[in-house]
Structure formats: structure tokens, C-alpha cells
A = this chain, B = another copy of it.
């Protein structure tokens, strides 16, 4: 399903073929937690800003409106009217970060809903069942997200359990995809590599999970508090142990700089809440650095956020107007900033793909980073 089109150093340029169309990688997935991108952005907007893959959160949708309701309505694609690929996470990350009191057992995790406090159990089989009900294009394996920092002993125990859970995920996904009433019977499954900043655990785990021959492999448990250099080191050491003929997904990352560095280390897929969260706070990305539109200096600035940017905000509105909207707490201000930021990320990935195609990724990366760090926004 994944075709490696070209390599430039370790940077990969690939295509993932799915029932919902082809994904050109490297790709940045746009996060729509509860089946909607925060900031009043719709799936119609996503097409306008060049989104290839939408990412929704299994835990949130399970709690509200419920994955069975979504299945009844034809699955997540029909529910939110999006015909391109969707990736759903496993719910694991939210269980570990959002949910109240929880107990981890061999069978899975017991926890309380963050919405109504209701007791919920989720294990590998439940996560696969929910994601199958949602009918996403790509399902993520249910793993434990170990805390950072964690002792090596805890990490080893956690990763071993994650390996056993991964086998159960794969078995359950096979079973679900074989059922006639399954919405997407070609649902893909990505496994998740864990091990924190312990490269020996990461590498051993990568070797274990690659033998399961999954549709893709993710690196989880990064960007959770370790330094950027530690993250890059882990990528340097771990990615070579993941199969080259599968997409590699670095979960929850990150800044434009993080993405530029990670692509060079062989990563295909990214996702992050930064562009939408920052947008809602009036922080916007440009090729010469990030701007805070609340800053007084933009009060009379009639230029767009970025000259020549083709996003729906920059094509029509000025910094001064958007600043006014933000100050006046008009929702439109947030919407325009989020649209710009998502467009910026999607467009950056397009430039990245072009640079790899042209075989000049390293110098492209240096130029981009220099512009962002030394620019005068």
C-alpha cells in the first residue's frame, strides 16, 4: 500500500494508497479532535487549505456522540462529510492524559470519562472495535503512553505490555475487517513504538513490532517533555530499525522546525495541535517566524499575515483587521488565524515533498530554518 517514491539522505518521499485516496508523504494531518477542527473550520474549508488527512480522537468520539451512533450514521466520513483519509488515534493517549483515576491491567485500562465521570474500560479489542465503528482509514494500535520521565524498569515493563497489546490489536482488526457489517473493511493498522528516551528499549521494540508486518509504524511517547535534541537522537537511532517500505509516523509533533528535522530523519506522517491552538490565541506562522497578532505594532498594519500566502485569511484580510477581531473577541479572528496556520503547515509539507523530489532536501531545510529563526516578522 505504501510506495517509497524516492529517498534523499534518510528523508522519504512516499505515497500511501488507501480506500479513501492516496496520501502524499511527508504529510501533516490536521487535528479535528471531536470530528471538527477547533476554530470553526469545516471539512469544506479543509479542502480549500490543502488538507490530505484529517485526524480524530477515538476517546472523545467514544464518549460523545458515541461511536455506535456514528456507525449508525454511516461512519465518521459520512458524519463529518469528509471523503479523504481519516486517521483515528487509539484513545490510549487521552486515557492517560485526560481521564480521571485509572488502573492499568494486563487486559487494558479502567478509567472515568472526563465528561460525566462514567466508568469505562478500554483494552486493545475495545479500541479496535471503536475505531472500526468509526470506520477511519487508519486505526492506531492501543498502547500505553508511559509518563516522562520513567525509570528504565518501568519503561521495559510498559513496552512489553504494549507489545502484547499490539498482537491483540492486530488479531482483533483482522477479525473486524472480515465482518460484513464493518464500515471500512480495508481499515489499516499502524503499530506504535515506545521506549521513552531509552534507545536500547526503542530499538528492541522496533525489531519486535516490525515482525508483525503492519501497515505503518508510529513513534509514540515523544514530545512529552524531553528536549528536542533527545527527540532527534531517538529518531536517529530508532527509525533505521523500522521497515523502509512502510510509512513512519511521529505522533504529536510539532513545530515547523521539529517537522523539518524529523523529515530528514525519515518520518512520513505528523500531527499536532499547535497550528490550531496557536491560531486560536492569535499566534500565526510565517516563513520569517511566528507573529503574535495581539501585538500593538500590527494595529495599523494593512498587510496580510504573510505576503503572497494563498490562504483564505491572507487572500482577503489584513493583520490590522484580524487583530481587531481578536481584541474584540470575535470568533472570526480565531477562524482566520487557524485557517492560515493549517494552510501554512499543509503548504510547508508540499514544499518539503518538492525538495525531496528535487533531491535537495538538506539545503532546503537549512534555508527554511534560517528564515524562520532570523526573520524579522
Does A210 belong to the interface (CB within 8 Å)? no
A305 to chain B, nearest CB (A): 14
Residues of B within 8 A of A317 (CB): 42, 80-81
In the assembled complex, the Cα of A34 lies from the Cα of B44 at a distance in Å of 26
Contacting pair A321 B81 (CB below 8 A): yes
The CA-CA distance from A81 to B315 in the complex, in Å, is: 10
Q: Which residue on chain B has the smallest CB distance to residue A333?
A: B36
Contact A300/B331 with A42-B316, A44-B312, A79-B320 known, Cβ cut-off 8 Å: no
**Does the CB pair A334–B64 fall under 8 Å?**
no
Residues of B within 8 A of A327 (CB): 64-65
Contact of A36 with B332 in the complex, beta carbons under 8 Å: yes
A166 to B40, CA, bound (A): 42
Asked if A238 is at the interface of the complex by the 8 Å CB criterion, the answer is no
Mark each residue of chain A from 157 to 178: 1 if its CB lies under 8 Å from any CB of chain B, else 0: 0000000000000000000000
| Interface bin, chain A | 35 or more
Q: A44: which B residues are within 8 A, CB to CB? A: 312, 316
- The CA of A60 and the CA of B78, in the complex, are separated in Å by 41
Contacts of A78 in B (CB 8 A): 302
A335 to B338, CA, bound (A): 14
What is the CA–CA distance of A229 and B234 in the complex, to the nearest angstrom? Answer: 75
Instruction: Determine the distance from Cα of A39 to Cα of B39 in the docked complex, in whole angstroms.
Output: 10
Given A42-B332, A65-B327: 19 more A-B contacts, CB < 8 Å: A34-B330, A35-B325, A36-B333, A39-B331, A40-B331, A40-B332, A42-B316, A64-B327, A65-B299, A65-B324, A69-B299, A72-B300, A73-B302, A73-B318, A78-B302, A80-B321, A81-B317, A331-B335, A335-B335
